[in-house]
Structure 1
Amino acid sequence: MDVSKDTTQTPAPATAVPDDAPPTVKRRLRVITLIATFGGLLFGYDTGVINGALPYMTEDLGLTPFTEGMVTSSLLLGAALGAVTGGRLSDGRGRRRTILTLAVLFFIGALGCTLAPNTAIMVVARFVLGLAVGGASVTVPVYLAEVSPAERRGALVTRNELMIVSGQLLAFTSNAIIARVGGESGGVWRWMLVIATIPAVVLWFGMLVMPESPRWLASQSRFNEALDVLKQVRSQQRAEAELAEVSALAVKDEQEKLGGWQDMKSTPWVRKLMFVGFGIAIVQQITGVNTIMYYGTQILTDAGFTADSALTANIANGVISVLATFVGIWLLGRVARRPMLMAGQMGTTAALLLIGVFSLALPSGDGRAYAVLAMTVTFLAFQQGAISPVTWLMLSEIFPMRMRGFGMGVAAVVLWLTNFVIGLVFPSLVDGIGISNTFFLFVLAGLFSLAFVKLYVPETKGRTLETLEAELKARYS
């Protein structure tokens, strides 16, 4: 099928064509989603496992509060670099090949952390792991967004968020089990870390037989290959209609030379979109979500739980994250993105305020411990049920096709650097001003985030990526 000619006409929207695909085609789309989201599972496990491993690692490696922060945040610094590198690589070499490379990095990083003999090697290995986490945070949502039909994009892209929180739950659960079985034996944290090598192997072998993104193929003028992939996940009629829409935009983007830093700086509407993307990324992080994901066990210990009880209680955070993400997937099919993001901001800000109040006002003991646990669970319900799924979904949607990986990569750099700074300074903040005042700072940040979403974030629900690109170009030009 030659679609490189006669691209001046605007094709009919693909969403106007019903997708009456046979069951085998729908099953193929489910398999692609499952395999690709193993990248999200690894993202979740490798960021969550430090929560329970850190106390044991601290004793074995002789960590100080500063080196604790370095071990935790070195992954985040690596993720910032991995996000922009992964985004650039996925635009240049393809989404599928990039995910295969990331699977290798996941394996090497996890093995390096497991075998680390000292703090320096641990920091380096966590940085390598971060490269993989950052690359996956960009490439997997973009891959899913570009493979998904418009009407199912929200649900399918958010499956990656479900796998992230499932990975975190797996980390919290395995940490608790290994700690109880291993007790105080030296190196128990190494068993917690080595588990991550298994899904890395599954991801690599699985992606060997997955197709490339049809939109990436179209952006490289490989239209026949793009059509072949679309036929795997759409009905024949829908695949042809969608390719006509995609190819017309691909030729237009090629003429405009969209694709990198220079284009971002010289194209006003793209610059404005980058500003929005940066804001969405920062909004997701300054809720303080990863202070609970990385330091949740310590927060609960400070609130009054014993060390073993805190590890077990922290599983509740993982469970509610998974359940809330299921709710988020359901809501995304029924509720607009922007109001959902604002509702999540209001819920997390209120929960953080109450964590600070309870930590300040209640005496140490079971009452304060369970009150803080209840609020961390409430916080995660709003965060994982609204803010996180909408964040990764919108970042995978808003950028032009030829620079979608690059644009999301740059926005993810901002996200991971914000995460890095928070992960690095949180232990020092708690040590310096106390846990209550630290959470009050996050409350203040939440109010600024709410104002930003209300003023600047566009709605993206219910459009094909091509229609959305045209709308955003008109809005910001």
Structure 2
Amino acid sequence: MNTLTSPAQTNRQTILVCFLAALAGLLFGLDMGVIAGALPFIATEFDLSSHSQEIVVSVMMFGAALGALGSGPMSASLGRRKSLLLGALLFVIGSVGCAVAHNLEILVISRFILGLAVGVASFTAPLYLSEIAPERIRGSMISLYQLMITIGILAAFLSDTILSDGGHWRWMLGIITFPAIVLFVGVLTLPESPRWLAMKDKHELAAKVLKLLRNSDREAREELDQIRESVKIKQRGLQLFRHNPHFRRSTYLGVLLQFMQQFTGMTVIMYYAPKIFEIAGFTTTREQMWGTVIAGLTNVLATFIAIGLVDRWGRKPILKLGFSVMAICMGILGYMFFIGINGSMAQYTAVTVLLIFIVGFAMSAGPLIWVLCSEIQPLAGRDFGVTCSTMANWIANMIIGATFLTLIDTIGSPNTFWLYAVLNAVCIILTLVFVPETKNISLEHIERNLMRGAPLRLIGRQDDSRQHVEKPAL
């Protein structure tokens, strides 16, 4: 009987499983990034107004919100693995539809289908990763999902730049079909989440998965015992939300975290990067596209900072640093647009500030919000809680995508960027008041602290004897 597995072998198996699941983020990023380069050509071919362009961009977020809404019940009943398979299939259908669209209506419908796929992926992949990865590397493995998003965005920017000379927007949108097929095949090899299996009373299967992915049989048994303790709570989802004030607090925190991530302003950088470079004085399509590629590369490289530090420094210190950097950069950009960007020195200064802003996001709010939203929900309500937070992400994303050009047209570039500076400053305060530190703490321990009534900012503390239990406090 096998009692110990090689740590090196187990690490490879765990990382391989997490990598395959994180490929969903690659498709997410490709769909987010590709529209930035394709939109000018689509606008020309279909003679679109600014409002129609905003619809093309934001309909994907609307689909993503609905996809996330449906992912909770689907993931709870079918499992994380089958949900990821469905997401991959929707990616294929939506990508092909965008490539062959002969009018605006077909394009919008196909973008909506892609949104459904993104909603499923953005809900299921971080949830699956949080339930598969051991606590000592959980933060970095969920951050791997965000890294895949940034790589997808960069790959989209590169392909857009290469294809822009001929205006091949159909290839820009259709090329996503190929990695979607790779994701579908990869997910077929994944094990099911042991926590979902335990919720379905499939404890033997859960034990097999944990033995495969942990360093020893003993470690697997101890984790399974903790999971069994968690699943004793029989309430699920909406019922738990209605009757348990502690679960309501964690759900509201997840929603708040996702709004914080989106209202940093990073979304507009990704969706409207060429437009921003145009505002900064880079007038040719080539300059704008290569500037966009540089922004995407910065996003990828800076995400490695989060992966390297999230399980060493912790979530909260990195978030405070990131929001501070972003607030300062947005303030500076607003001022530069206010006084006017004249001359090459001013242009490159504006680009440098923009890239520093991207670093601030990619090392903090980009990956860490997904990490926290997957960690803070109790097992009995995790599907519902993550559904709410993921929906909030896409609702906020849709608001940002559908209003940026309108804000630029109505209140001007300086005031738009100053608005985002203020929002980032607010996020610093919210982090201090509400966000817990969950580094190196098991999901079950976080759950116990939450359900005992600990203030939200303290639910990641190891010494739960110091928590307040009389009433739920924020």
Q: TM-score under structure 2 normalisation?
A: 0.93
Task: Tell me how far 1:314 sits from its aligned partner.
Answer: 1.1
| Cα distance in structure 1, aligned partners of 2:145 and 2:120 | 14
Task: Tell me how far 1:210 sits from its aligned partner.
Answer: 0.9
State whether residues 230 and 380 of structure 2, in contact with CA within 8 Å, keep that contact through their aligned partners in structure 1: no
| Cα distance in structure 2, aligned partners of 1:364 and 1:189 | 32
The match for 2:173 among 193, 197, 209 is 193
Specify the alignment match of 1:120 in structure 2.
105
Distance change >3 Å, CA 344–CA 361, structure 1 → 2: same
Specify the alignment match of 2:148 in structure 1.
163
| Cα distance in structure 1, aligned partners of 2:41 and 2:350 | 23
Larger mean CA deviation between 291-300 and 425-434 belongs to: 425-434
The match for 2:207 among 227, 236, 254 is 227
Pairing of 1:248-327 with structure 2 (within 5 A): 248-251=229-232, 253-254=233-234, 257=235, 259-305=236-282, 306-327=284-305
Instruction: Tell me the amino acid that sits aligned with residue 299 of structure 2.
Output: S
Indicate the RMSD between aligned Cα atoms, in angstroms. Answer: 1.4
Alignment of 1:129 onto 2:109: no
Task: Tell me how far 1:448 sits from its aligned partner.
Answer: 1.8
Task: Tell me how far 1:178 sits from its aligned partner.
Answer: 1.3
| Cα distance in structure 1, aligned partners of 2:11 and 2:392 | 35
Query: Could you list the per-position Cα deviations for residues 277-313 of structure 1 after superposition, in whole angstroms to 9, with x for gaps in the alignment?
Result: 1111111010111100000111101211122111011
| Cα distance in structure 2, aligned partners of 1:344 and 1:134 | 25
| Cα distance in structure 2, aligned partners of 1:417 and 1:134 | 11
The match for 1:55 among 40, 46, 51 is 40
State whether residues 359 and 368 of structure 1, in contact with CA within 8 Å, keep that contact through their aligned partners in structure 2: no
Task: Tell me how far 1:369 sits from its aligned partner.
Answer: 2.5
Number of positions where the alignment pairs a residue of Structure 1 with one of Structure 2: 451
Query: Could you list the per-position Cα deviations for residues 99-126 of structure 1 after superposition, in whole angstroms to 9, with x for gaps in the alignment?
Result: 0010001111111111111111111111
Query: Could you list the per-position Cα deviations for residues 59-81 of structure 1 after superposition, in whole angstroms to 9, with x for gaps in the alignment?
Result: 01111100000000000111111
| Cα distance in structure 1, aligned partners of 2:67 and 2:350 | 34
| Cα distance in structure 2, aligned partners of 1:260 and 1:154 | 24
Instruction: Tell me the amino acid that sits aligned with residue 294 of structure 1.
Output: Y
Instruction: Tell me the amino acid that sits aligned with residue 246 of structure 2.
Output: W
Alignment of 1:463 onto 2:441: yes
| Cα distance in structure 1, aligned partners of 2:34 and 2:76 | 31
State whether residues 304 and 368 of structure 1, in contact with CA within 8 Å, keep that contact through their aligned partners in structure 2: no
| Cα distance in structure 2, aligned partners of 1:83 and 1:455 | 28
Larger mean CA deviation between 37-46 and 273-282 belongs to: 273-282
Specify the alignment match of 1:246 in structure 2.
227
| Cα distance in structure 1, aligned partners of 2:172 and 2:422 | 35
Task: Tell me how far 1:417 sits from its aligned partner.
Answer: 0.5
State whether residues 13 and 213 of structure 2, in contact with CA within 8 Å, keep that contact through their aligned partners in structure 1: yes
| Cα distance in structure 1, aligned partners of 2:449 and 2:6 | 28
| Cα distance in structure 2, aligned partners of 1:409 and 1:367 | 46
Alignment of 1:46 onto 2:7: no
Specify the alignment match of 1:92 in structure 2.
77
Task: Tell me how far 1:19 sits from its aligned partner.
Answer: 8.8
Instruction: Tell me the amino acid that sits aligned with residue 241 of structure 2.
Output: M
Instruction: Tell me the amino acid that sits aligned with residue 429 of structure 2.
Output: A
Task: Tell me how far 1:25 sits from its aligned partner.
Answer: 2.4
| Cα distance in structure 2, aligned partners of 1:85 and 1:39 | 17
State whether residues 237 and 383 of structure 2, in contact with CA within 8 Å, keep that contact through their aligned partners in structure 1: no
State whether residues 358 and 371 of structure 1, in contact with CA within 8 Å, keep that contact through their aligned partners in structure 2: no
Alignment of 1:175 onto 2:160: yes
State whether residues 91 and 404 of structure 1, in contact with CA within 8 Å, keep that contact through their aligned partners in structure 2: no
The match for 2:410 among 419, 424, 432 is 432
| Cα distance in structure 2, aligned partners of 1:214 and 1:21 | 20
Instruction: Tell me the amino acid that sits aligned with residue 419 of structure 1.
Output: N
Instruction: Tell me the amino acid that sits aligned with residue 409 of structure 2.
Output: D
The match for 2:307 among 325, 329, 336 is 329
Stretches of structure 2 that go unaligned for 5 or more consecutive residues are: 456-471
| Cα distance in structure 2, aligned partners of 1:366 and 1:20 | 59
| Cα distance in structure 1, aligned partners of 2:155 and 2:380 | 36
| Cα distance in structure 2, aligned partners of 1:461 and 1:21 | 25
| Cα distance in structure 1, aligned partners of 2:304 and 2:247 | 33
Query: Could you list the per-position Cα deviations for residues 409-459 of structure 1 after superposition, in whole angstroms to 9, with x for gaps in the alignment?
Result: 111111111110111011111011211111111112122222111111122
Structure with greater contact order relative to length (CA < 8 Å, sep ≥ 6)? 1
Instruction: Tell me the amino acid that sits aligned with residue 221 of structure 1.
Output: D
| Cα distance in structure 1, aligned partners of 2:383 and 2:332 | 38
SS state of the match for residue 140, structure 2? helix
Query: Could you list the per-position Cα deviations for residues 225-261 of structure 1 after superposition, in whole angstroms to 9, with x for gaps in the alignment?
Result: 000111111122211111111112112x22xx1x222
Specify the alignment match of 2:389 in structure 1.
411
Stretches of structure 1 that go unaligned for 5 or more consecutive residues are: 1-17
Instruction: Tell me the amino acid that sits aligned with residue 228 of structure 1.
Output: K
Instruction: Tell me the amino acid that sits aligned with residue 291 of structure 1.
Output: V
State whether residues 300 and 372 of structure 1, in contact with CA within 8 Å, keep that contact through their aligned partners in structure 2: no
State whether residues 316 and 431 of structure 2, in contact with CA within 8 Å, keep that contact through their aligned partners in structure 1: yes
| Cα distance in structure 2, aligned partners of 1:329 and 1:377 | 19
State whether residues 311 and 440 of structure 2, in contact with CA within 8 Å, keep that contact through their aligned partners in structure 1: no
State whether residues 66 and 391 of structure 2, in contact with CA within 8 Å, keep that contact through their aligned partners in structure 1: yes
SS state of the match for residue 321, structure 2? helix
